[in-house]
């Protein structure tokens, strides 16, 4: 059964749990918006990652500095889950406040239909895990926050991921220590973010026990690692959070530069999809069929 049909049959979270249980590695490219999520699904990937970096860029045109509200992120997640049938793994930042905020965030994400969410241990205002200046909250305090999220999910299949941003802020030893604490708190997977070096990936693979996630960020040497190599290291999920966003920005910029230079985008035609291909991506034919049937 295909990933999309499995997701439809089981529900996103149950489908993602089934994929994890199979023991392979789940490649989840990032999507900044529902349209890109459709591209990820049509390319045959089993899951898609709703990146907070991309959501902030697409909705606000701003950097990932904790500017998106819980309401905006939930709305973004809801639109994405409606656009695809594969599981959506969603960034939930720090949970957007105290225990009651975390509980509401979990409930809203469940209603939005996401398969998994990750909560991080940064102090507010949070920022992208690749940036300098990250401030951490106490690890034991964050264990309580994760326990709140686990209780809040109730009997739903939602996968809760404990993310630590300690690597760039406090070093690999503290990141490994926190990952172990969060695993012991009961999260389904742990996620050490801010990885830039292959040596860091190897250390996480060797020292962090249990199901775990790795994020491969374009521009870092970690892009040399293949999904099969990461699977052999013991990772369950690999996120490619920014690959589609950075590719789209580069392609759009090149087209705009050519349009400005030549007064026509004709030279960029081979770099674009056709109108027909775009119509297929957004299922225009399905909407037209519906209109033909019900609009008289």
CA–CA separation, 294 vs 125, rounded Å? 49
- Give the model's pLDDT for residue 1: 42
- Give the model's pLDDT for residue 126: 74
3-state secondary structure string, 175-210?
Answer: HHHHHHHHHHCCCCEEEECCCCCHHHHHHHHHHCCC
- 120 has which bridge partners? 163
CA angle (103 as vertex; 165, 20 as ends), nearest 5? 60
Residue numbers annotated as active site: 128
DSSP string, the chain: --HHHHHHHH-HHHHHHHHHHTTS-EEEEEESSHHHHHHHHHTT-S-EEE-HHHHHHHHHSS-SSS-S-HHHHHHHHHHHHHH-SS-EEEE-TT-SSSHHHHHHHHHHHHHHT-SEEEEE-BPSSP--TTSS---BPPHHHHHHHHHHHHHHTTTS--EEEEEE-HHHHH-HHHHHHHHHHHHHTT-SEEEE----SHHHHHHHHHH--SSEEEE--TTSGGGGS-HHHHHHHT-SEEEETTHHHHHHHHHHHHHHHHHHHHSS-GGGGGGS--HHHHHHHTTHHHHHHHHHHH--
Neighbours of 163 (CB within 10 A): 30
Domains of the chain as residue ranges with CATH: 3-249 (3.20.20.60), 265-296 (no CATH)
CA–CA separation, 24 vs 45, rounded Å? 13
**Contact by Cβ (8 Å): 8, 85:** yes
Kindly give the confidence (pLDDT) of every residue in the chain, 296 residues in length, as a single tens digit, with 9 standing for 90 and above: 445 544 544 469 999 999 999 999 999 999 999 999 999 999 999 999 999 999 999 999 999 888 999 999 999 999 999 999 999 999 999 999 999 999 999 999 999 999 999 999 998 777 665 666 789 999 999 999 999 999 999 999 999 999 999 999 999 999 999 999 999 999 999 999 999 999 999 999 999 999 999 999 999 999 999 999 999 999 999 999 999 999 999 999 999 999 999 999 999 999 999 999 999 999 999 999 999 999 87
CA–CA separation, 207 vs 178, rounded Å? 12
Burial of 206 (0-12, 13-18, 19+ CB in 10 A): exposed
- Give the model's pLDDT for residue 132: 62
CA nearest to 119, candidates 88, 97, 87, 86: 97
3-state secondary structure string, 40-71?
Answer: HHHCCCCCEEECHHHHHHHHHCCCCCCCCCHH
CA nearest to 89, candidates 201, 203, 205, 191: 191
């Amino acid at each position: 059964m295909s990933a999309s049909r499995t997701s439809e049959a089981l529900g996103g979270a149950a489908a993602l749990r089934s994929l994890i249980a199979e023991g392979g590695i789940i490649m989840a490219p990032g999507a900044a918006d529902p349209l890109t999520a459709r591209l990820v699904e049509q390319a045959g990937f089993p899951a898609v990652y709703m990146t907070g970096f991309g959501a902030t860029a697409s909705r606000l045109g701003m950097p990932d500095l904790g500017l998106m509200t819980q309401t905006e992120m939930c709305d973004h997640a809801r639109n994405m889950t409606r656009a695809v049938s594969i599981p959506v793994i969603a960034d939930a930042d720090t949970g957007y406040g105290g225990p009651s905020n975390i509980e509401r965030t979990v409930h809203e994400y469940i209603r939005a239909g996401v398969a998994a969410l990750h909560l991080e241990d940064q102090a507010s205002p949070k920022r992208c895990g690749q940036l300098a200046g990250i401030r951490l909250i106490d690890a034991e305090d964050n264990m309580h926050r994760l326990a709140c999220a686990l209780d809040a999910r109730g009997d739903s299949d939602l996968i809760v991921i404990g993310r630590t941003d300690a690597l760039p802020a406090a070093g690999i030893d503290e990141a490994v220590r926190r990952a172990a604490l969060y695993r012991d708190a009961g999260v389904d997977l742990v996620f050490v973010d801010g990885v830039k070096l292959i040596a860091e990936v190897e250390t996480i693979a060797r020292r962090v026990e249990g199901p775990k996630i790795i994020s491969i960020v374009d521009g870092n040497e970690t892009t040399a690692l293949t999904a099969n190599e990461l699977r052999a290291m013991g990772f369950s999920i690999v996120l490619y959070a920014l690959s589609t966003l950075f590719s789209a920005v580069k392609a759009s910029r090149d087209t705009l530069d050519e349009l400005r230079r030549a007064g026509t985008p004709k030279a960029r035609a081979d770099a674009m999809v056709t109108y027909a291909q775009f119509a297929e991506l957004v299922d225009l034919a399905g909407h037209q069929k519906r209109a033909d049937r019900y609009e008289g």
